[in-house]
Amino acid sequence: MGIKVLAVANQKGGVGKTTTALSLGAALHRLGKKTVVMDLDPHACASIHLAHYPEDLTHTVLDIFYAEKDDVPELWKKIIHQEQKPGFDFAAASIRLSELEMDLKSRPGRGAIFKDALEPLKGEYDYIVLDCPPHVGVLLVNALVASDLVIIPIQTDFLALHGLRLLFDTIRTLNRVLARPIRFRALPTMFDRRAGACRRVLNLLRKKLGDKMFETVINLDTNFREASAKGKVIYEIDENSRGAIEYSLLAKEIVANEDA
């Protein structure tokens, strides 16, 4: 089975998670792949970035967790927005996603709700990209269980390596009970080739993770900050910038390795 659902996850914030979800969604669209990006983070950073303010929305991904199974296909039509400029479709978050931990506490099979809910969309989209919350909980577990591949953005900084252990522990725990192990690959981000520390971290990651790392490395690019300030993705700022080219390379790498 090919890769369909990509979960962008890291339990450390500030590593380029939302930037990766949005930029990759746009890059996949530019390759002619029909893509939907979904915001599963209660902080709703991706949603706000694209001017989908949770307080103004009637329907968000939150509704999926409370819906009856038969209602899910029609509900998706109300939740998913078509983004004209980045080109991908988008499903916004709700700040009330943070309440799910308590609300689903006694629900059987609560870790697989989202996996089941995505089934009706798999015939409609080439790729479903999930922007995950940074903390372990029912939301992150749902995203990991639903994924065909977990993309882990790792800032090339020694402190960022500590967050990795937490995520790997979560994946290992889930793999003990899942029929199909969770696949993951690490994506080095915010790389500054001028900094010796960055180069050392990148070499360390390659040594430790081997083929569990993407070939693509995302370098520092001020266009990401510019895009964020304007509520755009990097391709709308400068499609020939280093960052834009690198996310295009990442998209090509994912498509090329789809059945690997």
pLDDT number for residue 97: 95
Per the rule left: phi > 0, alpha: psi between -120 and 50, beta: everything else, 16 is: left
C-alpha atoms less than 13 angstroms from C-alpha of 162 in its C-beta half-sphere: 3
Other C-beta atoms lying within 10 Å of the C-beta of residue 245: 17
* Mean pLDDT of the region 236-252: 97
Judged against a pLDDT cut of 70, whether residue 2 lies above it is answered with: no
Mean pLDDT value across the chain:
92
pLDDT number for residue 163: 67
In the chain, what percentage of residues exceed pLDDT 90?
73
Q: Look at residue 155 and give its three-state secondary structure.
A: strand
**Residue 181 DSSP class:** P
Cβ(21)–Cβ(129) below 8 Å: yes
CA angle 113, 233, 98 (to 5 degrees): 30
Where in the chain does DSSP place strands (E)? 5-8, 35-39, 80-82, 89-91, 127-131, 149-155, 184-189
